[in-house]
Amino acid sequence: MTTTSTVPAERVLTGDRPTGPLHLGHYFGTLQNRVRLQDRGAEMFVLVADYQVITDRDVADRLAEHTENLVLDYLAAGLDPERTTIFAHSAVPALNQLMLPFLSLVSVAELSRNPTVKDEIAHSRQTGVSGLMFTYPVHQAADLLSCKATLVPVGQDQVPHLEVARTVARRFNERYPHADGTGVFPAPQPLLSEAPMLLGTDGGKMSKSRGNAISLGATEDETARLIRGAKTDADRRITYDPATRPEVSSLVLLTALCQERDPETVAEELGDGGAAALKRTTTEAVNEYLRPLRTRRAELAADRAHLRQVLRDGAVRAGVVAEATLAEVREVMGAVV
Ligand code: ATP
Ligand code: MG
C-alpha cells in the first residue's frame, strides 16, 4: 500500500524552547508572522521544544511553569488554539522516532560546522558538549518534517538549523523515494521578518536565557527600566545604520515596528536628541504597542487548566500527523512488516 498524504500549499511549523518568557525579539522575529499566517488561513503548528531545553543545561528548571507561560504568551499574542495546533514535542512519540533515521543522513563534520550550534555552545551552561546539543538541528528537522512543514517563521539564528532540515529532507528523498520516484518530504523554507535579530539590552542577540531580554509580559515600569539600561553609544545624532551602530539601530527599529513606521523616519525625527530621548520614545512605543497584549495576558493567566488543555488537544492533533509521516517513512525504508 502506498500512503500519499495531501499537504496544503502552506503548512507552517515553528516553535520556542520553554526556557523563560517570550520577549520582543520573539514577537517581531517570528510571533507576529505566525499570527499573520494563521489569520490568512495557513495550516499552523507551533511547538514547545521542551526536550531542547536540556541541550545546553543539565536540568530543565521549572519546565511545567515555563511551558504554560509559553502557551500564555502565544494566546495573548493572538494564536488561536482552534486554528493553530499548539503542542509540546515530548508528547509526540512518532515525531521523536524520526530522529533515528535522520541522524544517519548527516555527518559529524557537518554538524560541527553549524554556526548556531557553535554560538549556543559558547553560551552553554554545561562544561562539555552533550550529544543532544550537537544533534539539536537534526531534532529540529524531526520537528519540521514530522508535519511536512513548508514554511518556518524564524529568527536569523535558526537559518543554519533550517539548512540541516532541508539537507535531511533532500537526502531522505534521494535515498528512499516512493515507488513512483517522488519524495516523502518537502524542503521547509525560512520566513524571516523585518527584525530577524533584535538585540538585547547588552547589545547581543536578545535571548530568554542571557538576561538581556524585555519580556512581553513585563510591566510598563520594568520595560522602562530595562530600556533605560540598554547599551547605546556616545553619538548624540540618532541614525538608523544597523551595520555600524547596531545597538542604537536596534532601538530605532523596535520603535518603528511598534509605531508601524520606517526606522529611517523615526531616526530623523529624533535628530540630535541623543540616547536618552531615543530610549524614552522606545519605551512609550513598546508600552503602548503591548498594552492590549498585556491586558489579554493578565486575563488568560488566571486559567492554568485551560493552558494545559490547549497542549493536550494539540498533542493529539500533532500526533495524528506525525504518526502518518512515520508510517510513510517506515514504508519507503522497507520497515513495514
Ligand atoms: P534561549 O536563550 O533559551 O535559546 P531564545 O530567546 O534564543 O531562548 P528560542 O526559543 O531559542 O529563544 O527561539 C525561538 C524563536 O525565536 C526562534 O525562531 C528564534 O530564531 C526566534 N528569536 C529568538 N530570539 C530572537 C531575536 N532576538 N530576534 C529575532 N528572533 C529571535
Ligand atoms: Mg535560542
**What value does the CA radius of gyration of the chain take, rounded to a whole number of Å?**
21
Q: Is the pLDDT of residue 161 over 50?
A: yes
Model pLDDT, residue 320: 98
Pocket of ligand 1, candidates 53, 133, 163, 208: which has the most ligand atoms within 8 Å of its Cβ, to mutate? Answer: 208
DSSP 8-state code for residue 206: -
- Residues 3-12 have a mean pLDDT of 64
CA of 16 to the centre of ligand 1 (A): 7
pLDDT tens sequence across 254-269: 999 999 999 999 999 9
Contact 83, 46 (CB under 8 A): no
Query: Domain check: are 161 and 249 in the same one?
Result: no
Query: Domain check: are 114 and 193 in the same one?
Result: yes
Q: What is the pTM of this model?
A: 0.94
Cell reading at 98 = 524520526
- The answer to whether residue 202 sits within a structural domain is no
Looking at residue 270, its amino acid is L
Model pLDDT, residue 68: 98
Q: How confident is the model at residue 337 (pLDDT cuts 50, 70, 90)?
A: low
Cell reading at 58 = 543539565
- Residues 318-330 have a mean pLDDT of 98
Find, among 221, 192, 194, the residue nearest to 283 by Cα.
221
Query: Domain check: are 175 and 86 in the same one?
Result: yes
pLDDT cut 90: percent of the chain above it: 88
Listed in sequence order, the DSSP H helices in the chain are: 24-26, 32-39, 63-77, 93-97, 99-103, 108-113, 115-122, 131-134, 136-146, 159-175, 220-228, 246-259, 263-270, 274-300, 304-332
Find, among 86, 72, 84, 53, the residue nearest to 216 by Cα.
72
Pocket, ligand 1, Cβ cutoff 6 A: 14, 16-17, 19, 25-26, 29-30, 154-155, 157-158, 195-198, 205-210
Residue nearest to atom 23 of ligand 1 (CA): 26
Nearest ligand to residue 16 Cα: 1
Residue scoring higher pLDDT (16 or 115): 16
As for how many domains the chain has, the answer is 2
Could you tell me the CA-to-CA distances from 14 to 17, 145, 251, 255, 322 in Å, in that order? 11, 11, 26, 25, 15
Model pLDDT, residue 75: 98
Query: Domain check: are 146 and 226 in the same one?
Result: no
Find, among 317, 304, 292, the residue nearest to 81 by Cα.
317
**Domain CATH for 73:** 3.40.50.620
Give φ, ψ of 296 to 5 degrees. Answer: -60, -40
What residues make up the domain containing 284? 208-299
Looking at residue 129, its amino acid is V
Residue 191 neighbours by CB distance under 10 Å: 18
Alpha-carbon gap, residue 211 to 202, rounded angstroms:
9
Query: Domain check: are 284 and 160 in the same one?
Result: no
Q: Is the pLDDT of residue 8 over 60?
A: no
